[in-house]
Structure 1
Amino acid sequence: MDEVPLETRELRYFVAVAEELHFGRAAERLGMAQPPLSRAIQRLERRLGVRLLARDRRGVALTDAGRTLLHEGRAALEATLAAGRRARRAGAEGGAGERLVLAVKAGAFHELLRKLLAAHAAEPGSAEVEVVPSGVCEQEEMLRDGRADVALLHVPPRSLAGFDSERLSTEGQVAVLPAGHPLAARASLSMAEVGAVPDLPLARWPGRDGFPPGPGPEIHDQTQLAQLIALGRAAAVFPESATSWLWSAHAAVPLVDAPEVAGHLAWPAHSRSRALAALVRTATRL
């Protein structure tokens, strides 16, 4: 079968249409007129020899081939974007030495991160590490799109596909509740007990495909979550080490049946950075 090389522009056009499932909205998102976008997608389909989109009076839907290209195209665009960002970051150093950007969820891994940074800084010739506290479930995306070189993240639920990683910790989980709630006085809770409280729905975290269904509020940042819990409008489940951000209006109760979560240091599998390799060696020694 003949190879059909794809251009970044083609992928960007297709991903926009595939995500919007509407040529007009995709054209507006891309800042272009709809007719040339439609022609570009048709040319792409002819070149590939497959239908990517099924069009009818009801709208636009992805074919099996289209779903495959959406998945692969997103990854390819992310890799291209990441390469540019990391190249600019390396060039901006001006000979001053490599700098690593480490993404970590705000409030998480506080003690582990403190020890890691101190041990790394004590190594001769160690690179500067810029710590970027990230939003909810954002570390993986920061690695994929090049905003970060390395990340501390919890597994599960996030995926390590495409990354190399080292497991640094394993810990239990806790329910974070309003301090005045009756369940906050318990020595421990089960997941079923936490999920069965009608006045404290579990907060919903964003994923790649949006928020999961459920009655709980959609959470966009740590401050929003903290306030909703303090007001008695939501509850959340966190790894034990991620509770350093708790307010006095919060309580953390151990969950006896929640799965343990592992803390991983993760980085792109193709990385050849010596500075990153040095940071990983320091982390594994800890």
Structure 2
Amino acid sequence: METLETRLETRELRYFVAVAEELHFGRAAQRLDMAQPPLSRAIQQLERRLGVRLLERNRHGVRLTNAGEVLLQEGRAALDATAAAARRTRRAGGADSPAGARDRLILAVKAAASHDLLRKLLDAYAAEPGAAEVEVLLCGMCEQEELLRDGRADVALMHTPWNSLAGFDSEALMTEGQVALLPAGHPLAARETLSLADITDIPDLPLARWPSHGTYAPGPGPEIHNQTQLAQLIALGRTVAVVPDSARSWLWAEHAAIPLTDAPLVVTHIAWPAHSRSLALASLVRTAARL
């Protein structure tokens, strides 16, 4: 049974997450647009109610305890779920969904990925009786997970091993190999196959660097922000990239795609929140699985 000691309020979680992310009460108070003393008192009251120390405070600053690390992770997830509930509720019954309007699903897809699969899915689903309107939300690299967690999307096409499916229900739709994208005039472009070792240390053609959790790994290759930038840099002979085989659908004449014999397979999944009860979403998933 829930007790006063175990009940957490959204306000308390917002306060704690701000302090835990800033590791500074003053900056957290400024971020929350409140004074520091009531923020400090709120965190102390939260610690007393839970019966654990969440933060270690000393003259050097603030650091999270093990319990604080857990609450930060769980608190972020709870706040995301709350925001997602609000967004999906507004879409279901707000001003953007007047009475008598068709259901609407927002499908998050990485720009330029799974083009043929997406086209087939949208065409097949549109032919279903009572199909909902599907809005395709094109996003940047590995952004589908965030959009799905915070409610800006109802469903997403995600790709392992790059996207995390933790906390989602999902259905695998397609498995494919990977290719090296090279300038068409490069000597390696004449090869029938390549290995990852072949393209790792090309002196004149460094590997493109992709963002991971908002940061880029160090290296000489260019930081890639979108597919158009990548295509241009490869055509100019400035970089090489490893991409799924389906990327051939957007290749330019200046590109060459050479199969990689030892790159991990890429699996495209349709993923959705595990708690979803949307009939329109269930119908879209069934259509995707049939494909």
Same fold (TM over 0.5): yes
Within a 5 Å distance, the mapping from 1:121-270 to structure 2 comes to 121-208=126-213, 210-215=214-219, 216-270=221-275
> Following TM superposition, by how much is the alpha carbon of 1:212 offset from its aligned partner in structure 2, in angstroms?
4.8
Sequence identity percentage: 74
Name the CA shift for 1:67/1:175 in 2 (closer, same or farther; >3 Å).
same
> Could you tell me how far apart the structure 2 residues matched to 1:8 and 1:242 are?
43
* Contact kept in structure 2, 1:108 and 1:242, CA below 8 Å: yes
> Could you tell me how far apart the structure 2 residues matched to 1:238 and 1:85 are?
33
Within a 5 Å distance, the mapping from 1:40-119 to structure 2 comes to 40-91=42-93, 92-94=96-98, 95-119=100-124
> Could you tell me how far apart the structure 2 residues matched to 1:66 and 1:156 are?
29
> Could you tell me how far apart the structure 1 residues matched to 2:253 and 2:88 are?
40
Q: What is the RMSD computed on CA atoms of the aligned residues?
A: 2.1
SS of 2:250 mapped into structure 1: coil
2:29 corresponding residue in structure 1: 27
Name the CA shift for 1:253/1:274 in 2 (closer, same or farther; >3 Å).
same
Name the CA shift for 1:227/1:45 in 2 (closer, same or farther; >3 Å).
farther
- Which ranges of structure 1 fall in alignment gaps of 5 or more residues? none
> Following TM superposition, by how much is the alpha carbon of 1:198 offset from its aligned partner in structure 2, in angstroms?
4.3
Structure 1: which amino acid aligns with 2:272? W
> Could you tell me how far apart the structure 2 residues matched to 1:33 and 1:255 are?
57
Name the CA shift for 1:87/1:194 in 2 (closer, same or farther; >3 Å).
same
> Following TM superposition, by how much is the alpha carbon of 1:137 offset from its aligned partner in structure 2, in angstroms?
0.4
> Following TM superposition, by how much is the alpha carbon of 1:258 offset from its aligned partner in structure 2, in angstroms?
0.6
Count of paired positions: 285
* Contact kept in structure 2, 1:204 and 1:211, CA below 8 Å: no
> Could you tell me how far apart the structure 1 residues matched to 2:106 and 2:125 are?
14
> Could you tell me how far apart the structure 1 residues matched to 2:246 and 2:238 are?
23
SS of 1:244 mapped into structure 2: helix
Structure 2: which amino acid aligns with 1:214? P
> Following TM superposition, by how much is the alpha carbon of 1:132 offset from its aligned partner in structure 2, in angstroms?
1.1
2:8 corresponding residue in structure 1: 6
Question: TM-score normalised to the size of structure 2?
Answer: 0.90
> Could you tell me how far apart the structure 1 residues matched to 2:27 and 2:183 are?
42
Structure 2: which amino acid aligns with 1:136? M
> Could you tell me how far apart the structure 2 residues matched to 1:202 and 1:279 are?
37
> Could you tell me how far apart the structure 1 residues matched to 2:42 and 2:209 are?
38
> Following TM superposition, by how much is the alpha carbon of 1:23 offset from its aligned partner in structure 2, in angstroms?
2.6
Name the CA shift for 1:244/1:197 in 2 (closer, same or farther; >3 Å).
same
1:272 corresponding residue in structure 2: 277
Structure 1: which amino acid aligns with 2:122? L
Q: Which moved more, 1:227-236 or 1:78-87?
A: 227-236
Question: TM-score normalised to the size of structure 1?
Answer: 0.91
SS of 2:46 mapped into structure 1: helix
